Structure 1
């Protein structure tokens, strides 16, 4: 029909398919379509034709196209239509012109249906579909495009009624069509319930498959509807059983549980799934752990981690650091060390962040012996503490009656020229003051003055009180230090 020189588009008076109620054309969807100026690798002939469609007045388009001497080919026609969504009226004229010179392909017809639908031109879209029927070029893909166009326009009932009239156009609806409509509905915000209504009606006629449930579960995940996700998942297990091929459905369901603060339930399901050889992949575990970390939920993160590692999945350094950070934030030093010890066996080597998070946790929990031992390990592995951790460690070690390790940390910083060192140095002076070790206090203060390390006013006041309590000799010592500091 398209090759008939007497054929003019559209092909027939407007006749809506059964059950499709005519509506006033809605405004064009607010979406940006690709055009020939922004798309790379546009062929020269397509660019020429697209420029005519974009720039020539409508009444002159067909003459301008003919004047180019370009003979449309199937590939060229499809390329031009793909790049002309933003000028649908001109695209119709191009399609008519091309149809006079060659027979339209299935692809070109489907592209035109999609172009018209995406631009809210519903009546011309149906005219095109009716023209396709006698040509024998209608397919499920045609109607999938219509589903998407209606759903983008918010006309979900029309999308569903389109599914219902597929048979009248010679296309037998199947599970692919069902899933395509479910997907089109669920892509829109907060419409999974509408998709479920269609699903409940059609499932007795066309048995759903794993993809059907995956689409619904991904919709519930997006909407955070835990109750509906549980119901859908339960029905899925009954209808289609367990299969590793349904992993996207499992991922969506488990993620909904974790995000809905039901990580305990997710872990129970994971244990069942492990027995069914249907554990999800690393992507799920990574996303789930990220959610639990944001929720500061180390209680459920630990068993989730153990299931992941126990199933043979190998976490990377980023995942290890995130998990260790969560454990340290919850003062779970034992599990943090357990993960640290297991890292190298999975090819994830700890870095400065790994060590410093654990070191900071030991400091925060006043683990004096742990800080001493771990500091030595950090130096041995060439991942020293950060300056801020050094300062915090020195203050804690003085409170914990281990000044020798505090002195060791400061000596390390000086010898290795770790900067900034001001906070650490002042912490050392204050700690030495509190212990009343005046000879060492004087030695450290003089060393710091010589190195031009900044001694804070509050530290000087603390030193003054400490020295002045020792009588005249102490006052003389402090005054001498004060003069050296002012002249340095």
Structure 2
């Protein structure tokens, strides 16, 4: 469990001396490689054996309790690690008679982050069975486990032992960077990057990008940029470096800083079609700023003129923002880049957003065209996509256009929302189309069992008023049998119409059914 406590600004100044001390320790450790992991283990045993973390009490329930399908052998080992006092872990493990393989060690360590002392003793116990040949993944987990629990001195001792076994990799240092940053020790993360060469791992652009990502992803992009300014003099940065910084500015909504970084990127490495990730973050950041959509579209056009395009994130964001602001013009420009220039495949959510935009501006032909073309781009409409268009067509009395949408929707086993069914029945009956009124009603009663009375009575009266008396009576009978309340006022109107044509007996039969239900 990570230490999420933040130091106050007053503490920052006092921490600088401790950071320098830690850096001295790192260098000191490098000069004396014989100081091994076993020594560190003994040094930290008093803290680890106490059953407490350096920064707080151990949680009552270990994470393995929440893990699905833990194998019986692993559960035994995890139980021992989680529930046994650290001083007795090794003896209890020995008494268990359980044998482990490298894969078992990895799985147990992954589930034992809440118990650093006991996990470390399990690791030492297992090394005896494995002839002290732990896998690189197991060592990486130990480094991460110690780092997450703020046991940084022990973490570095583990790293030195890994170096002796030639097991260190960039993945090891990624964990170091992340855990220092999470613990509000960014300078120590930077120092770790600077001493990587001493541990046989090059402090190149790949490592720098890992460091900057750890810093930026935890809301400290200004600190990352400050170091970036220093280190770029000796490390040749690439497009990913700038993408990481731009993603940081995006998370922190720093429009001005993002624009400065983007300009610097173009100046340093030029325009590159492969750098869609950086373009993505930059444009998404601009959208969040004042007059955001206009600014983003201006830079988007500048990119496309050079054959460079952002990724799917921006396209979806831009479409959603266009919908929010009813900006059809921008939406069409973005959509033309997606589909017309075949930059990426639009998904169903993007289609739904654009269809809703066209519906809100009453451009129904364009909306229907989008619905028709979806399948050609492997984006299949769902209930909401159909529903957006059907709702708008009914709301604006575009009843003829709504018919094929409804039929296709039902054919694909989707149902309009309850309120849309009610509105459609009412509107079709009012427009003199009993056929579609009945079609929607049948769909409605097959799909919903609530709030049917008002629409059902409206339909019966509407059919009767259009001289469709047999259908009105049949519909009334079906409502009674389904337990849908037929109003006395509706019955009275049916009685009047049936009496006029000499079919009072039909009314008597209907009344009898009505009373019996």
After TM superposition, the score normalised by the length of structure 2 is 0.67
State whether residues 393 and 401 of structure 2, in contact with CA within 8 Å, keep that contact through their aligned partners in structure 1.
Answer: no
- Alpha-carbon distance in 1 for matches of 2:161, 2:182: 24
1:309 aligns with 2:339: yes
Per the alignment, in what secondary structure is the counterpart of residue 10 of structure 1? helix
For 1:132 and 1:170, how far apart are their aligned partners in 2? 11
For the pair 1:175 / 2:205, whether they are aligned, the reply is yes
Residue equivalent to 2:193: 163
CA contact (8 A) 1:140 1:173 kept: no
Query: 2:429 and 2:72 mapped to 1: Cα distance?
Result: 75
Cα deviations across residues 261-288 of structure 1 (Å, max 9, x unaligned)? 7334434444444444433455653455
- Residue 241, structure 1, aligned to residue 266, structure 2: no
Q: Judge conservation of contact 2:147–2:155 (CA < 8 Å) in 1.
A: yes
Using the TM superposition, give the Cα deviation of residue 346 of structure 1 relative to its aligned residue in structure 2, in angstroms: 3.8
Query: In structure 1, which of residues 254, 268, 279 is the aligned counterpart of residue 283 of structure 2?
Result: 254
Report matched runs for 1:191-202 at 5 Å.
191-202=220-231
Check the 8 A contact 2:80/2:89 in 1, yes or no.
yes
Give the aligned partner of residue 174 of structure 2: 144
Distance 1:235 1:37, change over 3 A: same
Change (3 A) 1:162 1:378: closer
The secondary structure found in structure 1 opposite 2:262 is: helix
Residues 59-78 of structure 1: pairs in structure 2 closer than 5 A: 59-61=87-89
In structure 2, distance between residues paired with 1:121 and 1:276 = 50
Residue ranges of structure 1 left out of the alignment (5+ in a row): 15-23, 468-472
In structure 2, how many angstroms separate the alpha carbons of the residues matched to 1:442 and 1:81?
76
Distance 1:149 1:66 in 2: 32
Q: How many residues align?
A: 458
Give distance in 2, aligned partners of 1:238 and 1:317: 37
CA deviation vs aligned residue, 1:228-281 (integer Å, no higher than 9, x gap) = 333322322222233343233233333334455733443444444444443345
Match of 1:337 in 2: 368
User: 2 CA distance for matches of 1:70 and 1:63?
Assistant: 12
Comparing 276-285 with 356-365, which one deviates more in the overlay?
276-285
Contact 1:49 1:80 in 2 (8 A): yes
Q: What pairs up with 1:219-238 in 2 under 5 angstroms? A: 219-238=248-267
The answer for the alignment partner of 2:403 in structure 1 is: 375
Provide closer, same or farther for how the CA distance between residues 191 and 354 of structure 1 changes in structure 2, counting only shifts above 3 A: closer
- Mapped partners of 1:382, 1:36: distance in 2: 46
Q: Does 1:90 align with 2:90?
A: no
Q: Which residue of 2 aligns with 1:205?
A: 234
Deviations 1:317-349 (A, max 9, x none): 554344323432443323213323434544556
CA distance in 1, matches of 2:154, 2:455: 77
Q: Is the 8 A contact 1:209 1:240 kept in 2?
A: yes
Q: Does 1:216 align with 2:278?
A: no
Residues 1:362 and 1:82: Cα distance change in structure 2 (over 3 Å):
closer
Say which of 201, 213, 216 aligns to 1:186. Answer: 216
Q: CA deviation at 1:114?
A: 2.6
Does residue 153 of structure 1 match 2:183?
yes
SS in 1 for 2:275: helix
User: Following the alignment from structure 2 to structure 1, what is the Cα–Cα distance between the partners of residues 84 and 440?
Assistant: 75
> What's the TM-score, normalizing by structure 1?
0.70
Q: Distance in 2 between matches of 1:37 and 1:155?
A: 31
Contact 2:116/2:146 (<8 A) preserved: yes
Q: Which residue of 2 aligns with 1:21?
A: none
Q: Are residue 409 (structure 1) and residue 439 (structure 2) matched? A: no
Alpha-carbon deviation of 1:202?
A: 2.1
- Provide closer, same or farther for how the CA distance between residues 486 and 277 of structure 1 changes in structure 2, counting only shifts above 3 A: same
RMSD of the alignment, in Å? 5.3
Q: Distance in 2 between matches of 1:380 and 1:163?
A: 60
Between 321-330 and 62-71, the greater mean CA deviation after superposition: 62-71
Equivalent pair of 1:9/1:96 in contact (CA under 8 Å):
no
CA contact (8 A) 1:129 1:138 kept: yes
User: In structure 2, what is the Cα distance between the partners aligned to 1:295 and 1:124?
Assistant: 55
* Aligned 8 A contact 2:81 2:89 in 1: yes
CA distance in 2, matches of 1:5, 1:385: 71
Once the two structures are TM-superposed, the CA of residue 315 in structure 1 deviates from its matched residue by: 3.5
Is the CA contact 2:463–2:472 (under 8 Å) kept in the aligned structure 1?
Answer: no
Over 3 Å counting, the alpha-carbon distance change for 1:211 and 1:39 in structure 2 is farther
**Aligned CA distance change for structure 1 residues 63 and 331 (closer, same or farther; 3 Å):** same
Q: Which residue of 2 aligns with 1:366?
A: 397
Which SS does the other structure have where 1:173 is aligned? coil
* Runs of 5+ unmatched residues, structure 2: 1-32, 45-52
